[in-house]
């Protein structure tokens, strides 16, 4: 494998994909080419931001970066389940993964150490949030109204979307301190907040399309007990 290797930025570019390679990395110099995926520079528990600042890996920046990465993986898995079940949701989920890469670029570029050249490369395009809202509205129109608290359920596509939704909320929590400290664009936080709504709606939509039952919350005393079941 051959990829663009940027000193100080680490493998972030290679890992976050071609959009970033074309955007951020192509204009960063000096550029060298390596064949190895590892540099060993992170072996002592620190890594670098796109702005070249070395921080511990448990710093808020890498926590948020890692959580958005985890979220994208969960969405990828959900997209596979959706595709197997024949839902036309795969393309949208892939677009969302691309936008998440842009969110990652923004997180990797803390404003306190960013120069103008960095900022231009990682500027977050918030217009996509409106498009995602229209996707939510479109699905909601087809869904039966929500009358009960739904448990994550309704088939593999739905459950994987619920899992992605819950990781999305963790990503939101991990990004909140960075927004509060004015280190990242607040629109990225708005995006992940809306994304959890999208994932919730998409989960319900997938369950409906597959004809799978969404389980609802009941107080423990209202559930049939094992003894009741035996009597039946």
Ligand X SMILES: Nc1ncnc2c1ncn2[C@@H]1O[C@H](COP(=O)(O)OP(=O)(O)OP(=O)(O)O)[C@@H](O)[C@H]1O
Q: Where along the sequence are the contacts to ligand X (CB under 6 A)?
A: 9-12, 15, 38-43, 47-48, 57, 62, 65-66, 108
For the bound state, the minimum distance from the C-beta of residue 67 to ligand X, rounded and expressed in Å, comes to 8
> What does the alpha-carbon distance between residue 202 and residue 184 come to, in Å, rounded to a whole number?
28
Residue closest to ligand X, measured at CB: 42
Nearer to ligand X, 66 or 186 (CB): 66
Structure tokens at 45: 């528990």
> What does the alpha-carbon distance between residue 174 and residue 189 come to, in Å, rounded to a whole number?
10
Nearer to ligand X, 152 or 177 (CB): 177
170, 132 Cβ separation under 8 angstroms: no
Nearer to ligand X, 12 or 198 (CB): 12
> What does the alpha-carbon distance between residue 156 and residue 7 come to, in Å, rounded to a whole number?
41
For the bound state, the minimum distance from the C-beta of residue 57 to ligand X, rounded and expressed in Å, comes to 5
For the bound state, the minimum distance from the C-beta of residue 61 to ligand X, rounded and expressed in Å, comes to 8
200, 162 Cβ separation under 8 angstroms: yes
Query: How far is the CA of 44 from the CAs of 7, 40, 54, 88, in angstroms?
Result: 17, 9, 11, 44
Nearer to ligand X, 12 or 124 (CB): 12
Nearer to ligand X, 53 or 163 (CB): 53
For the bound state, the minimum distance from the C-beta of residue 189 to ligand X, rounded and expressed in Å, comes to 18
For the bound state, the minimum distance from the C-beta of residue 153 to ligand X, rounded and expressed in Å, comes to 31
Nearer to ligand X, 17 or 42 (CB): 42
Instruction: List all residues 6 or more positions away from 222 whose beta carbon is below 8 Å from its beta carbon.
Output: none
End-to-end CA distance of the chain: 62
Torsion angle in degrees (nearest 10) through CA of 53, 57, 60, 61: 50
Neighbours of 127 (CB within 10 A): 8
For the bound state, the minimum distance from the C-beta of residue 132 to ligand X, rounded and expressed in Å, comes to 25
């Amino acid at each position: 494998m051959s990829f663009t290797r940027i000193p100080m930025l680490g493998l972030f570019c290679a890992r976050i994909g071609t959009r970033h390679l074309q955007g951020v990395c192509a204009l960063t110099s000096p550029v060298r080419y390596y064949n190895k995926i590892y540099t060993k520079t992170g072996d002592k528990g620190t890594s670098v931001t796109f702005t070249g600042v070395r921080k511990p890996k448990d710093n808020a920046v890498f926590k948020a970066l890692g959580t958005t990465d985890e979220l994208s993986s969960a969405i990828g898995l959900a997209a596979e389940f959706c595709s197997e079940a024949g839902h036309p949701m795969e393309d949208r989920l892939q677009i969302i993964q691309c936008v998440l890469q842009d969110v990652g670029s923004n997180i990797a570029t803390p404003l306190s150490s960013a120069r103008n050249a960095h900022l231009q490369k990682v500027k977050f395009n918030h217009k996509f949030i409106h498009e995602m809202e229209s996707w939510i509205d479109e699905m909601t129109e087809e869904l039966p109204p929500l009358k009960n608290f739904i448990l994550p359920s309704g088939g593999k596509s739905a459950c994987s979307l619920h899992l992605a939704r819950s990781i999305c909320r963790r990503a939101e929590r991990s990004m909140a301190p960075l927004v509060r400290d004015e280190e990242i664009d607040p629109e990225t936080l708005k995006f992940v907040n809306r994304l959890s709504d999208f994932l919730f709606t998409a989960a319900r939509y997938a369950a409906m399309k597959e004809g799978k039952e969404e389980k609802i919350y009941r107080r423990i005393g209202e559930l049939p007990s094992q003894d009741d079941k035996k009597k039946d």
